[in-house]
Structure 1
Amino acid sequence: MIAAAVTEPFSLPVRVRYVECDMQGRVFNAHYLTWFDMAHTDALHQVTGLSYAELLRTHGIDFVVAESNVRYRAPAHYDDRLDVVVAFDPPTTSSLTSRFTVVRDGTTLTEGMLRHVCVDAAAFTKAPWPDPVREALAGYAAGVSSERPSRPT
């Protein structure tokens, strides 16, 4: 089952835990990639109507990270309430670029991206996105505004 068209950007709320902070009291850099992955997984579920496991089982595909990037604009701290906003670029034949914005109170703290490549779940060789998945992802990419929250001053 593929979910109906989504017109609002997916946003994952995150509350910074003490364990995610470094000795300077700021979120340690690697945790942003974890949050990106969490938001990506939940956004895919919302857009396709299928969990990660159901996507694999139903369509015989998996996806692997081929590229990642994080740009830090301002720090997050313990107990901050953040939103990780997800936007997808239109999918290519076998890849998907997801763009992330980490926001606190309307201010962008971090921007990043993940590029996933679709692979055959058994052979782990590059594979095209199944048509229903590609259509759902393309619909999300086209229907969600690409406006980003404000940057810190």
Structure 2
Amino acid sequence: MFVHRLRVRYHECDQQGVVFNANYVSYYDVALTEMWRALLGSYQSMVDQGHDLVIAESRLRYLSPARFDDEVDISLNIHHVGTTSLIMRPEYRVGDTLTTEGEIRHVFINTATFTKAPIPDYVRAALARVSSPATTQASPNE
């Protein structure tokens, strides 16, 4: 599991004074980029090698509001590493309160063709360093 903390900015809140729901996907993207940086270095270096990942599906469930100036911890739990896809189950917390949870599925692509591609071995190995024992893993040959 990887955790990234960010602080809610005023412009990210709606008229009710809570984080506008669409911002949670943006927060997820920030946390994912920081996880990539910690595990693999520059995200751009992966792209330069011809690999990228795109969101194919996202689902979030809002449980409790986060508000302006709250510090939100985004936990990225790797649920499944497949042949070409990756499923993350992010959890958003303010203190001990779970505010939002969900599931986001990524598909790896070839940057030249924008077609589905196998997860590179070096990415698979890096993800294994933060995966829990319960994470399901497809072998690179499946």
Fold match (TM-score > 0.5): yes
1:110-146 per-residue CA deviation (whole Å, 9 max, x = no partner) reads 102221100101100110011121122134213699x
**CA–CA distance in 2 between the matches of 1:78 and 1:136?**
34
From 85, 97, 100, the counterpart of 1:95 = 85
What's the TM-score once normalised by structure 2's chain length?
A: 0.88
**CA–CA distance in 2 between the matches of 1:75 and 1:31?**
12
**CA–CA distance in 2 between the matches of 1:71 and 1:131?**
32
**CA–CA distance in 2 between the matches of 1:55 and 1:16?**
29
- Which residue in 2 is equivalent to 1:56? 47
- Which residue in 2 is equivalent to 1:21? 13
Structure with higher strand content: 2
**CA–CA distance in 1 between the matches of 2:101 and 2:8?**
17
**Offset, 1:16:** 0.8
**CA–CA distance in 2 between the matches of 1:144 and 1:37?**
24
The alignment of Structure 1 onto Structure 2 pairs a total of residues equal to 135
Q: CA RMSD in A?
A: 1.7
List 4+ stretches of structure 1 deviating above 4 A: none
Q: 1:144 to 1:11 in 2, by over 3 A?
A: farther
**Structure 2 portions without partners, runs of 5+:** 136-142
* Contact 2:37–2:43 under 8 Å retained in 1: yes
